């Protein structure tokens, strides 16, 4: 079957039921904004609108709620009016081609560096990332020991997420995804190898889930539950992360999302790409061999499978009943007409990893459509 190319019949969620296929553009860090302003520009308009044509919906790059939370120079923000105006141009361009676009909202937590942030990064616990050097700091150095957040500071961060969601709604986004994966702030609260707090935000599974759920509640207040989702890496090791019992923990967490009628989750399948050594002696595949299969009967909403899928494996995970949709990253970078290529069995263009985090249009908006398809927009 070609399940990826069929509509998603989900009577609980009118927006998702309107999609004509199950192909999602995954959130991808590309760093094409001005690093001094974090404002989306014309490049973003072209990049996202090209890939919105026929795609069920777009998930944007991780977009910071504040300068303090933006560890990637050139990543976009959603904390001021100029950024909202820039995103409005992007969402308008996507809507002109009848596409849908969700903002991935984000805070880097301890995975930042003062040379980029202008201050020491913050986190639930004052423990630095081990085993790897900073990736996007001005110099390649060890990660810094972060400032351990106070309860008042945690409450302020919830409000920053809420304001970011309000800004996203004003900018015209159709929905929002919380970045709860890969060792950034939300993930840092969830997992017990890092969250060593002894107050209401640490210790038990319930306490470690408290801040992420407070943020989810703030997003729901703005967008409503059906247009809110979260990306999760229950077994991922990126940025020195680990949880001693991820199945128990994420079963609790997903049931809490069910109570809130959250629309979707994006689950990163194993094995996950790992930056740095495995410091815990157990890799993510050993801990959770099949993430979507493990949590399929736990979560009531739409499950989007992510990580390394192609047309064949994407169809299979849907046919097996473990996911409802699949998000594509590297393949959609280099194939702006990915859906059409899947529909027509056209060959795919390989992406150039050397241009993932560079500047300008090369490797960003210069990938052609197949053969003599519609020319890309000019600016």
Domain CATH number, residue 259: 3.20.20.70
Distance CA(358)–CA(245), nearest Å, equals 38
Residue 365 lies inside a defined structural domain of this protein: no
Residue 377 lies inside a defined structural domain of this protein: no
**To 5 degrees, how large is the angle CA 270–CA 271–CA 274?**
125
- Bridge partners of 265, per DSSP, are 230, 303
For residues 71 and 131, is the Cβ–Cβ distance under 8 A? no
Residue 376 lies inside a defined structural domain of this protein: no
Instruction: Determine the structural domain holding residue 50 and report its residue range.
Output: 3-355
Residue 363 lies inside a defined structural domain of this protein: no
Residue 12 lies inside a defined structural domain of this protein: yes
Q: How many domains does the chain have?
A: 1
Residue 192 lies inside a defined structural domain of this protein: yes
String of DSSP letters for 229-277: EEEE-TT--TTT---S-HHHHHHHHHHHHHHTT--EEEEEPSSPP-SS-
Residue 129 lies inside a defined structural domain of this protein: yes
For residues 230 and 103, is the Cβ–Cβ distance under 8 A? no
Measuring CA to CA, which residue among 161, 96, 163, 135 is closest to residue 377?
96
Bridge pairing between strands 122-123 and 101-106: unpaired
Q: pLDDT tens digits for the chain (379 residues)?
A: 689 999 998 767 899 999 999 999 999 999 999 999 999 999 999 999 999 989 999 999 999 999 999 999 999 999 999 999 999 999 999 999 999 999 999 999 999 999 999 999 999 999 999 999 998 887 789 999 999 999 999 999 999 999 999 999 999 999 999 999 999 999 999 999 999 999 999 999 999 999 999 999 999 999 999 999 999 999 899 999 999 999 999 999 999 999 999 999 999 998 666 667 888 888 888 899 999 999 999 999 999 999 999 999 999 999 999 999 999 999 999 999 999 999 999 999 999 999 999 999 999 999 999 985 554 554 4
Residue 187 lies inside a defined structural domain of this protein: yes
**What's residue 373's pLDDT?**
54
**What's residue 137's pLDDT?**
80
Active site residue 184: yes
The whole-model pTM stands at 0.96
Catalytic-role residue among 184, 201, 250, 322: 184
């Amino acid at each position: 079957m070609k399940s990826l190319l069929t509509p998603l019949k989900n009577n609980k969620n009118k927006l998702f039921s309107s999609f004509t296929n199950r192909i999602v553009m995954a959130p991808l860090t590309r760093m094409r904004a001005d690093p001094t302003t974090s404002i989306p520009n014309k490049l973003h308009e072209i990049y996202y609108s090209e890939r919105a044509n026929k795609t069920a919906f777009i998930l944007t790059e991780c977009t910071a709620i504040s300068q303090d939370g933006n560890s990637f120079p050139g990543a976009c923000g959603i904390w001021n009016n100029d950024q909202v105006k820039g995103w409005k141009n992007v969402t308008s361009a996507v809507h002109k081609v009848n596409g849908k676009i969700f903002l991935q909202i984000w805070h880097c937590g301890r995975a930042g560096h003062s040379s980029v942030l202008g201050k020491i990064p913050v986190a639930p616990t004052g423990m630095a990332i081990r085993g790897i050097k900073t990736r996007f700091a001005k110099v390649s150095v060890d990660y810094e020991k972060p400032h351990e957040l106070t309860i008042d500071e945690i409450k302020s961060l919830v409000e920053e997420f809420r304001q970011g969601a309000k800004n996203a709604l004003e900018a015209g986004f159709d929905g929002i995804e919380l970045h709860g994966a890969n060792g950034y702030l939300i993930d840092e609260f969830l997992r017990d190898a890092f969250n060593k707090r002894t107050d209401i935000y640490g210790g038990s599974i319930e306490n470690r889930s408290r801040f992420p759920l407070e943020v989810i509640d703030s997003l729901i207040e703005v967008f409503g539950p059906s247009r809110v989702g979260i990306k999760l890496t229950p077994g991922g090791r990126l940025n020195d992360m680990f949880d001693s019992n991820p199945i128990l923990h994420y079963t609790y967490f997903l049931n809490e999302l069910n109570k809130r009628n959250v629309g979707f989750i994006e689950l990163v399948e194993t094995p996950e790409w790992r930056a740095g050594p495995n410091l815990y002696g157990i890799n993510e595949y050993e801990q959770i061999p099949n993430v979507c299969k493990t949590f399929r009967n736990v979560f009531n909403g739409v499950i989007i499978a992510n990580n390394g899928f192609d047309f064949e494996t994407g169809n299979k995970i849907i046919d097996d009943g473990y996911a409802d949709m699949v998000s594509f990253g590297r393949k959609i970078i280099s194939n702006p007409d990915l859906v059409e290529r899947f529909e027509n069995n056209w060959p795919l263009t390989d992406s150039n990893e050397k241009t993932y985090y560079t500047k300008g249009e090369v490797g960003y908006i210069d990938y052609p459509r197949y053969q003599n398809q519609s020319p890309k927009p000019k600016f």
